[in-house]
Each structure stands twice: as C-alpha cells, then as structure tokens.
C-alpha cells in the first residue's frame, strides 16, 4: 500500500466514524434515550421522514465502510485507481461542500437565533460526506496513471462544459429556491426573517369517516408554541403548486408562524373523493380539533386563501378560536358566503364560470381545459349536458345546474348568517371583475352591522382591478402589481396586528381601500357603500330605434316629458349576444372592447353626450326597466360601458334578471312590467369627453346561460323560441339606470 493510500484510508475511517456518531446520536433521540444530546430539531432537517432517512444513512455507512476497507487492504473493487472517477468525485465533492458552506452562510445570515452554531448538525455532517468524496476522489486521481488524451479534444471540452453548465444550473435553481422567501419578502416590503424553518411533510390526520387529510407543516425553529396559519388547499399536488406552497409556507414560518398547508378531501396529498365545497365544514372543524391538540399550537389561528379555499375559511366562521382562550383572523380573497348567488346571479346560471371550474376539477388531478372543449360545452342544448359535451359527465356540475333555487343543497354549502357569526377579524380582498364581488360586499356590510363589535371594527375590505385572482389590464395598458403579490402582501402586517400585537384592537388604517378605475388610483374610504355617493338616475330615451350604435338611443339625466316609442328587438336563444369580458372564473374576464357586440340588432344602446367633466361612479348599480315580452319566461341583461373619445367602448359592469312574464302578442303596445336588474358594483371615473353607455339585451352568453324563452325547465330544455322584447320609456315608464355618483372634491 502506498503512503497516499494509507493516509486516504485513515482519513476515510475518521470521516466514517464521525458520520456513525451522527447516526447513533439521532437514533438515541428518536428512541427517547438521548436526553443528554442536543434536541431533535438540531439533528433533523426534515427532507426525509426519519425511518427513510435512517435507512439511507445505513446504506451510506455500508457503502463507505466497504470503500474504507478496500483502501485499508490495498485491494478490492473500490481500491483500484481510476483517474477519471477521481476527477468526477473531486468535482462532485467540491460542489457538495460548497453548497453546504453556502447553506451555512444563508442560515447564519438570515436567522439571528441560529448564530453561530444553532441548527448546524445536519450541515456539518453533510460536509463530512462531502469530505469523504473529496478524499476518495483525491486517492483515485493521484494513484492512477494519467489516461490517454481524448481523440476528439473539442468534444471533450464541450462535454465538460455541458456538465459544468448543468451543475451551475442545478446550484442556481437550488439557491433560488432557498432564497425565494427572502426575494418574496423584499418584493412585498415586509419585515425581515427571524427563524430558520423545519419542514414536516406528509403529516396525516384521519377524519371521522376514516379519510386521511395530509398536511405539510412548516415549523419556525426555536420559536416554541406559535400562532398558526392554516391553508386548506383544494388543488392537485403539481410541481408548481408544491413549489408555491413551499415558498409561502417558509415565508410565513420564517416570521414566526407555524404554517399548516393541508390538502382538502381528494386534493393535494389527501385521500377521499373530491367534490367541491360539500365536505369542508366537517373536515375543517375536525382539523381545528386536531390543531388544538398539537403542542406547537398556542391558540392563535390565521387562515388564508381565495375562491374554494376562501370557502374553507367561511365554513369555520363560528368555530374559530376567540377570546379569552384564543384569537383568530381570516384573509378571504375572491370568495363569499353566497356560492348560490355566484352560480345563479339574477336567477340565471353562470355557465362560463361553472363549466370552466367543473372541467378543470373533475378528475383526480386539476386539468386546465382548452377553449375548444369549453366551446363544445357551451354550444348545443340541453344545459345539463354541457359537461358531457365538453369532457364527460361531472356529477357536481349537474347538481349546480339542477339546484337553481336557494334550497337545502346550497344551505349546506353557504350556511346561514356566517358573516354575522364571525369570531375573528377578516380581511376581504375582492375584484371589480370577479363573480363573487356582490356576495363579498354583502358579507362586509353584514359584518359591520351584525358581527361582534370588536370583530366588526377590526375587519377590512380591499377591492382592486382584478378578475378572479387575475390582474386585469385596463384601457390604455394600465396594470397594477401582479395579483398574487397583492394577495400575499398584507399577510404579515395583517396577522402580526391581529394575532401577535397586544393592541390588536387598534386599527390605524382605513376600513375600506378601493381602486378607482379611470382615475387609476388607490383610495381609502371609511365605509361601503360610500355615504357621500348620490343615487343619480340616467333615463333611457329614444325614438324607438335604439338598436345598435347606429340607432337613436340616448341616456339622459332628464326624464321623458312625453311618451316615447318603445324599443323592440328579437331575442333568439340560438344566436345569443356573445360575452366580451366581465366577471367570470374562466380566462378572458375583465375589460374587453365591446364595439362588435353593439352593432347587433338585438342589443339596445343608450349613450350620453360627451361628458363636460369627470363623473365618478362608485357603489351598487341598478337598472330599472319597464319591459314587455312575447315569452312566458325570459331574460333581460344590462351592461354599463365607458365610451372613450376615440369611440372604443369598454365594459364596466353587467347584470341579468331571469323571471316569468305575462306574454304579449305585441309587446311594444302592451302594458309593461317594472323590473330591476342588479349590475355588478364598481368604482369608475368616466373621464371628460367620454360617454356613459347602457346596453340592454336578453343574453350575455356564455357568462350567463341562454334562456330558451319557452317556460320549459331550463336545465333540460332543447326547444327554443324567438321572443319579441320591448323596453318602454316615458313619464309613466321611466326606464333608467341609477348610478352612485360621487361628488367631485373641490
């Protein structure tokens, strides 16, 4: 044996002995016999569950033992020198060792409680393993003769360059992952990290019916019992979702919050059947009971999430920890206590939103539907088979269609008065082009009026220029910060104030913050709706030819002094007015040019003259129309539009009303019925020189499903009828849209 081989063997045995000590130490703690050693958290990074980690450690000891034995004997497969193996091991060992040094620097730099030796046991022993590779690689490189030169040196250089590029790419990805919470904190301008994080993956609680609900738990190291942020996520466990959850979980845990990210039933890593919305109350309450039994839970609970996992918060509104034994705070985005109202606004069915959600979520894994599949569902009748045409039968889509009334099905989902029963403050984040907006605003109003006084005073509302969790591009290319950042930015300030601050009841900021479109600025308000807004009617006027923009429809602040001819149009369910933007869960929502729609003869268009000054409209909007129809059952739709100086028209708000009527053979001469269409609330400044427009039609498809106009059950109807619709306007029939006009501040 050469002197170098002997020295290498001794070094390998020493390194192996150190690693064995590490394995034995952690094993003693695992079996409860290591009270004299540093605690479990100091040994365990959480990358693998301990049984799997222990098995891998035994394999490493066996392999390294065989290597050290062969070098000691000077013979054996592992002792035969191979120079290229040596250079490869030296490269890998150097990268491995360097990565551990960087990891140590990150840990010591970002987390003050870790300085200078805290939590370094795993890092130190990774360095031991890296050193083993370096020593063993050096033995091979020095002991073996130099291999013959490559016959094609350029190819060799390219291969080496590609290998190092791949290594650099991998290290860059790993470093980005490690620092992602820090980058996120910088982008959000929140306080610095405090704690290192230990991740406990695959933590399972068993629901009362035996279904496993699986969580990843992010623990702030050396923080003791802490407030907990619970997210019950209804998405599949894709790489993107997992990375996002990991970054956000570490971001919160680094700032002192134990974070539990749990898959809802049939989603992420949890078992059971995925059926949206139905099981969340039971599973959520059992999860709360499970949390209360965890030693790291201190009685303070925050929850975060939007849409379906906003619903996972609302179902627990009356069961949250509350004084004197605990505290709670919620952050609900783009979700309300009224899923029935979202699916059936004005009595119609939100076909575009419902079919998109159903097709995406129908299987074991979320699957983003393509436009062609959705269009197949939209086309054709009956409505109940839209899912079959798009992708296949989806039971929960069928239930959403069948239960058009607010019956026991929706009662089980929406509950009764959850906003009034709320046990902790809530931050509601809504979007002007989100289908949940009216329900969210109603929730906020009810909280302020009926919830416990401290909860009402501390709750907050933010409404931005968003569709469903999507940043909307406003006319002129105006865009605010990305919605995902906006949804995360308030989390640390909000939870710090509500869960950590001793003066949580003191709320220095305004209770309402809204984005005013047109002016394109954020503004604080003291209430919703705004007390200073004035309900201002704009009356429908015409000579009976308001059809399309080429007609004579006007929108005026003066009511008609004399009867005017009614405006009529033919509503054919087989050729409905197409949706352009608006409030939908599907892609394509938001602000879209409307000019092509307004050329149709089945769209009535009423427009003001160019405005002589800016007009701000902020608040609820209603259109009161006097209508008659030849159909026993039909729809009327309204859409508020901003017409720019160049003639381009952009949607602001819309709504629908579906109901039965007394059919008339001649609707233009019939006695009309008064109806009220509730449009989406908004905040919009119509600029000087712009015009305010109201579109009236009988369809906005597929945002709302088509009404066959026959009076037959809509879910199963196949036959359709063309309806003659009439909108009357005169002194006794003052059809109008009522806008909440906010006086200009002088």
Per DSSP, the three-state class of 507 is coil
434 catalytic, yes or no?
A: yes
Alpha carbons within 13 angstroms on the beta-carbon side of residue 514 total: 22
Per DSSP, the three-state class of 485 is helix
Strands 673-686 and 723-729: unpaired
- The answer to whether the beta carbons of residues 305 and 264 sit under 8 Å apart is no
Alpha-carbon distance of 722 to 575, in angstroms, equals 10
β strands within 207-352, DSSP E = 212-220, 226-233, 258-263, 297-306, 327-333
**Pairs from 520-524 (Cβ < 8 Å, separation ≥ 24):** 520/474, 520/478
- The answer to whether the beta carbons of residues 322 and 342 sit under 8 Å apart is no
Among the options 274, 340, 344, 468, which is catalytic? 468
Short-list 460, 457, 500, CA closest to 191 = 500
Alpha-carbon distance of 118 to 552, in angstroms, equals 78
Among the options 215, 246, 307, 336, which is catalytic? 307
Strand partners, 729: 564
Short-list 340, 447, 729, 743, CA closest to 568 = 729
Tell me, what DSSP letter sits at residue 187?
H
Strands 691-697 and 633-643: antiparallel
Short-list 91, 21, 4, 92, CA closest to 57 = 21
Alpha-carbon distance of 463 to 672, in angstroms, equals 37
Write the Ramachandran bin of 40: left for phi over 0, alpha for psi from -120 to 50, otherwise beta.
alpha
367 catalytic, yes or no?
A: no
And the tokens for 28? 């003693």
Alpha-carbon distance of 474 to 469, in angstroms, equals 15
- The answer to whether the beta carbons of residues 64 and 93 sit under 8 Å apart is no
Alpha-carbon distance of 345 to 677, in angstroms, equals 10
4 catalytic, yes or no?
A: no
Among the options 434, 443, 654, 705, which is catalytic? 434
Strand partners, 628: 726
What phi, psi does 350 have (nearest 5°)?
Answer: -75, 75
Alpha-carbon distance of 473 to 477, in angstroms, equals 6
The C-alpha R_g of the chain, in whole angstroms, comes to: 32
And the tokens for 512? 């309402």
And the tokens for 23? 């394995």
Active site residues: 307, 434, 468
């Amino acid at each position: 044996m050469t002197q170098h081989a002997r020295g290498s063997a001794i070094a390998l045995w020493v390194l192996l002995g150190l690693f064995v000590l590490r394995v034995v130490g952690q094993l003693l703690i695992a079996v409860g016999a290591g009270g004299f050693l540093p605690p479990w958290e100091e040994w365990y990074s959480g990358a693998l569950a301990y049984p799997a980690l222990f098995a891998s450690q035994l394999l490493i000891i066996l392999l390294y033992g065989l290597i050290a034995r062969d070098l000691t004997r000077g013979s054996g497969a592992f002792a035969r020198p191979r120079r290229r193996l040596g250079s490869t091991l030296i490269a890998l060992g150097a990268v491995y060792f360097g990565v551990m040094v960087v990891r140590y620097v990150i840990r010591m730099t970002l987390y003050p409680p870790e300085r200078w030796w805290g939590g370094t046991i795993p890092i130190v022993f990774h360095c031991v393993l890296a050193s083993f590779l370096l020593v063993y690689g050096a033995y091979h490189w020095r002991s073996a003769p130099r291999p013959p030169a490559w016959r094609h040196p350029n190819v060799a250089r390219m291969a080496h360059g590609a290998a190092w590029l791949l290594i650099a790419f991998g290290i860059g990805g790993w470093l980005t992952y490690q620092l992602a919470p820090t980058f996120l904190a910088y982008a959000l301008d929140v306080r610095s990290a405090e704690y290192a994080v230990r991740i406990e993956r695959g933590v399972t609680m068993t629901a009362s019916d035996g279904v496993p609900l699986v969580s990843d738990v992010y623990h702030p190291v050396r923080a003791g019992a802490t407030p907990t942020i619970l997210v019950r996520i209804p998405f599949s466990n894709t790489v993107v979702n997992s990375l996002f959850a990991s970054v956000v979980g570490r971001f919160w845990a680094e700032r002192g919050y134990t974070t539990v990210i749990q898959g809802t039933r049939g989603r992420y890593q949890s078992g059971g059947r995925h059926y949206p919305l139905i099981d969340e109350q039971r599973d959520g309450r059992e999860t709360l009971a499970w949390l209360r039994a965890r030693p790291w839970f201190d009685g303070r609970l925050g929850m975060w999430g939007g849409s379906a996992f906003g619903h996972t918060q609302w179902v627990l509104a009356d069961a949250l920890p509350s004084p004197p034994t605990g505290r709670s705070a919620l952050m609900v985005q783009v979700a309300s206590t009224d899923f029935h109202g979202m699916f059936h606004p004005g009595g119609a069915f939100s076909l575009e939103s419902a079919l998109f959600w159903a097709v995406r979520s129908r299987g074991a894994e979320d699957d983003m539907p393509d436009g062609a599949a959705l269009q197949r569902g939209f086309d054709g009748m009956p409505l109940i088979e839209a899912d079959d045409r798009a992708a296949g039968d989806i039971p929960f889509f069928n239930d959403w269609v069948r239960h058009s009334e607010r019956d026991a099905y929706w009662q089980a989902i929406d509950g009764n008065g959850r906003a009034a029963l709320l046990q902790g403050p809530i931050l509601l984040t809504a979007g002007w082009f989100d289908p949940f907006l009216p329900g969210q605003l109603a929730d906020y109003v009810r909280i302020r009026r009926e919830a416990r006084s401290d909860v009402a005073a501390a709750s907050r509302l933010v409404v931005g220029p968003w569709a469903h969790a999507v940043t909307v591009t406003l006319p002129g290319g105006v865009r605010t910060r990305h919605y995902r950042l906006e949804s995360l930015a308030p989390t640390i300030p909000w939870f710090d104030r509500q869960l950590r601050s001793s003066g949580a009841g003191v709320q220095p900021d305004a209770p309402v913050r809204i984005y005013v479109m047109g002016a394109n600025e954020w503004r604080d308000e003291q209430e919703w709706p705004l007390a200073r807004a004035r309900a201002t009617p704009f009356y429908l006027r015409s000579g009976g030819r308001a059809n399309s923009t080429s007609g004579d429809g006007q929108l005026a602040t003066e009511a008609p002094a004399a009867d005017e001819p009614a405006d009529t149009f033919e509503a054919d369910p087989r050729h409905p007015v197409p949706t352009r933007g608006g409030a939908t869960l599907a892609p394509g929502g938001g602000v879209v040019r409307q000019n092509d729609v307004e050329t149709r003869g089945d769209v009535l268009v009423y427009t003001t003259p160019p405005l002589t000054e800016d007009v701000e409209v902020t608040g609820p909007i209603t259109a009161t129309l006097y209508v008659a129809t030849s159909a026993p059952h039909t729809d009327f739709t309204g859409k508020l539009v901003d017409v720019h100086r160049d003639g381009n028209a952009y949607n602001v708000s819309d709504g629908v009303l579906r109901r039965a009527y007394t059919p008339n053979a001649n609707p233009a001469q019939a006695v009309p019925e008064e109806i009220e269409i509730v449009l989406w609330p908004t905040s919009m400044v119509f600029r000087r020189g712009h015009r305010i427009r109201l579109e009236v039609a009988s369809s906005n498809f597929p945002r709302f499903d088509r009404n066959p106009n026959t009076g037959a059950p809509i879910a199963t109807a196949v036959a359709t009828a063309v309806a003659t619709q009439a909108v009357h306007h005169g002194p006794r029939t003052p059809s109008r849209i009522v806008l909440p006009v906010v006086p200009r501040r002088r």
